[in-house]
Chains A and B, each alone.
Chain A
Amino acid sequence: NAGVTQTPKFQVLKTGQSMTLQCAQDMNHNSMYWYRQDPGMGLRLIYYSASEGTTDKGEVPNGYNVSRLNKREFSLRLESAAPSQTSVYFCAGRGGPGTDTQYFGPGTRLTVL
Chain B
Amino acid sequence: AQTVTQSQPEMSVQEAETVTLSCTYDTSENNYYLFWYKQPPSRQMILVIRQEAYKQQNATENRFSVNFQKAAKSFSLKISDSQLGDTAMYFCAFMKPPGAGSYQLTFGKGTKLSVIP
Contacts and interface: CB of A to CB of B under 8 A. Distances in A.
Interface of A: 31, 33, 35, 40-45, 48, 50, 56, 58, 88, 90, 92, 94, 97-98, 100-104, 106-107, 109
A88 B43 contact: yes
B30 to A, nearest CB: 16
Interface of B: 4, 33, 35, 37, 42-47, 50, 52, 91, 93, 95, 98, 102-110
A104 B102 CA distance: 16
Contacts of A43: 45, 91, 105, 107
B41 to A, nearest CB: 12
21 contacts: A31-B103, A33-B104, A33-B105, A35-B105, A40-B109, A41-B109, A42-B107, A42-B109, A42-B110, A48-B102, A56-B102, A90-B45, A100-B33, A100-B95, A100-B98, A101-B35, A101-B47, A101-B50, A104-B37, A104-B46, A109-B43
A102 B109 contact: no
Nearest to A49: B102
Across the A-B interface, the 9 shortest Cβ-Cβ residue pairs: A42-B107, A104-B45, A50-B102, A43-B107, A100-B33, A107-B43, A42-B109, A42-B108, A42-B91
A103 B107 CA distance: 14
A10 B40 CA distance: 18
A92 to B, nearest CB: 8
Contacts of B43: 88, 106-107, 109
Given A33-B104, A43-B107, 17 more contacts: A31-B103, A42-B4, A42-B91, A42-B109, A45-B105, A48-B102, A56-B102, A94-B103, A97-B98, A98-B98, A100-B52, A103-B47, A104-B37, A104-B44, A106-B42, A107-B43, A107-B44
